[in-house]
Chains A and B, each alone.
Chain A
Amino acid sequence: MNAENSSAVPATKPKKMVSGNPADRYSNAGPSPDPWEQCARLEYGHDRSYAWTVREQVIATPPEGRTRLEEKILTALATSGRTDAGLAFLCQMLAMIGSAQCVPALAPLLRAPASAEAARYALEPIAGPAADAAFRDALSALTGSAKAGLIGSIAIRGDRSAEPLLIALKNSSGEPAIVREAATRALARLTTFKA
């Protein structure tokens, strides 16, 4: 113990200024994290409050604001350090509001085995030839189970221009049974498909 110090007169603390503006009382909290960036780095099991905030925004935004919102999701998709859970979440948001605008960003993800599931989740409900082409293009990149899933999506979308590719897959001895059977079912569905 330091006697000299203990007998010293304590320094006077500066008086805290109280602002009349309620918002100023929270100025020490610092800037809020960007919820979009937080979503991209979401981990399974972690607090998903930021994702909830973004989800609420996606749901509540009227049609005229969705293009801008889609751009924000695509920006978030490109966040460095994006996690698997983050990718899955962002693709779930695109599954609700995504348009042809997001196909160029999703197409490469659809071709990569690690991201194909999430990308397919986002792309399957997006109507139009651009998304159709992305699905057909990914057929040459994926194998096995992922390829069967891709074929299923093509059938659900009703892309009849994929029929030649599907016939080839159905008859290919180089493909595993899971792919050939998926192609067979897809062709049967396309025959009776109604938009």
Chain B
Amino acid sequence: MNTPLPFTRRQFIQKSAVASAAITVPFILPSGLRSQNAPSKKITVGIVGCGNIADSHFPPLLGSPESVRVVAVCDVDSVRLAAGAARVNQAYGNKDCQTYSDFRELNQRTEIDAIFVCTPDHWHALIAIDALRHGKDVYCEKPLTLTIAEGRALVDTARKYNRVAQHGTQHRSMKRFHDVAEFVRNQGLGKLDRIDCFIPPNNRFCGATWTPEAVPANLNWDMWLGPAPWRPYNSKGCHYNFRFISESAYGQVTNWGAHYLDIGQWALGMDDSGPVEVEGHGEFPSSGLFTNCTNVNFTVRYANGVPMNCRTRFEGGGTVRFVGERGWLDISRDKMSASDNNLLREMQAPDKKISLPLSNNHHDNFFECVRSRQRPIADVGLGHRTTTVCNLGQIGMVLGRKLKWDPVKEAFIDDDVANRLRTRAMRSPWSLA
């Protein structure tokens, strides 16, 4: 069992505020946890959401028992919750893992250092913000948030409470993507002509109509919906498939776009900014349970004139291709290729003028930052900017007209409808306030 911290959350926040006022070095966050100053201290973790996405987090988290300890899990599906807890208990050989069906109760546990947010997208912002307010560091799965307004609120909260907050875009911690982004940033391709992102298609289908079904006894449907508009339960519109319904997510635009558009942002040096224009012409289903774009096609353009295109690729999976005056580079999780192999050799040359931060493991980087109080490799600030690009694409395709974007004000220029689509009212009692 973990020993509770010797002070309460309120004391912790007071201490944090004092520490924050004293900090003068940028990007060093004050530690809220006295014990974190000792490198041997295990970081205690709570996981919110025990489904598909959590599957990829359990092995690395449970595989580092000397430094990380999962102490609690939360899910609104009691079957998934029990499976998650059993997985933790089996790994540790005990029955200590606490279970919660409400993330707010988990966030109130003062001895938990960090929260992993692995829920459907419409929940990301509220759960992460609540955790940050309770003094937790946060690893939030991609996309960071559902809407632009949620993303801004999440970043502001992380800054206000001086918390470490990592966006789950693990390409930032894969050397291949790092090397390409750094190479492009150093003009390795000469003048950049364009970036082409290809994302997989929405890979589930249903008919033009659907039938409301009885909610399974193991599922709290009201809590699953949370801030999303109410609709009757249907098994095809819940676990995993939520991503094809625009009340919960924006399909592969945010699912894979968050990864590949992110590398484009990184290579362009736009981590604290974004495009100035978007134009999209996606194809949306006119009936049926699924509402998200089935054929993605949008282009964002940056102030330097470089366009980044995003298209559905129906065969071949996701990739990002950089095209410049010296040729092209194409990179995905599985492979990297170039118009000329010399480009790949040049990429490995040392001593580049601009050096991008390097991380070899997204989890390790997060936990290192929890201890060191540095900002992580995919800090929520840049995660919000990348998620904004996804949102711009979505809004551009929904409206089907060219839109001007002000990345400083984070607002569309002269388009009231587009600006309204940056946010949406949340279902009671939930609110960003």
Chain A residues packing against B (C-beta within 8 Å): 44-49, 52, 59-60, 63, 88, 92, 95-97, 116-117, 120-121, 124-125, 144-153, 155-156, 178, 182, 185-186, 189
The 9 closest A-B pairs by CB, nearest first: A152-B431, A149-B428, A148-B429, A155-B433, A52-B286, A124-B425, A145-B429, A45-B210, A189-B433
Please indicate the chain A residues that have their CB under 8 angstroms from the CB of B426 in the complex. Answer: 149, 152
- A8 CB to closest chain B CB (Å) equals 47
Cβ–Cβ contact A95 & B425, under 8 A: yes
> Contacts A47-B209, A48-B286 known; A95 to B430 CB distance under 8 Å?
no
* A44 near B212: Cβ-Cβ < 8 Å: yes
Report the nearest B residue to A119, measured CB to CB: B425
Evaluate whether A45 and B428 lie within 8 angstroms (CB atoms) in the complex, with A95-B420, A189-B433 already known.
no
Contacts of B211 in A (CB 8 A): 45
> How many angstroms from the CA of A149 to the CA of B232 in the assembled complex?
20
Q: Is residue B27 within 8 Å, beta carbon to beta carbon, of the partner chain?
A: no
Main secondary structure of the interface of A (DSSP, over half): helix
Give the number of residues in B that approach A within 8 Å (Cβ atoms): 32
Most A C-beta atoms less than 10 A away, residue of B211, B230, B232, B286:
B286
What CA separation (Å) do A155 and B430 show in the bound complex? 12
Q: Mark B262-304, 1 if CB is under 8 A from A, else 0.
A: 0000000000000000000000001111000000000000000
Given the interface contacts A52-B286, A121-B425, does A45 sit within 8 Å of B234 by beta carbon? yes
Q: Chain B contact residues: over half helix, strand or loop, or mixed?
A: loop
CA A52 to CA B428, docked complex, whole Å: 26
Task: Provide the residues of chain B in CB contact with A59, threshold 8 Å.
Answer: 398-400, 417
Determine which of A49, A150, A156 lies in contact with B428 in the assembled complex, contact meaning CB atoms within 8 Å: A150
Q: Counting chain A CB atoms within 10 Å of each CB, which of B229, B425, B427, B430 scores highest?
A: B425
Task: Give per-residue flags for B173-215: 1 if the beta carbon is below 8 A from chain A beta carbons, else 0.
Answer: 0000000000000000000000000000000000011111000
Contact between A117 and B432, CB atoms less than 8 A apart: no
Neighbour of A96 across the interface among B212, B400, B421, B427, CB < 8 A: B421
Write out the residue numbers on chain A whose beta carbons fall within 8 Å of the beta carbon of B400. Answer: 59-60
Known: A145-B429, A149-B427, A152-B431. A47 touches B208 (CB 8 A): yes
- Whether the Cβ atoms of B420 and A96 lie closer than 8 Å is yes
Task: State the CA gap A151–B209 with chains docked (Å).
Answer: 36
In contact, A52 and B287 (Cβ under 8 angstroms): yes
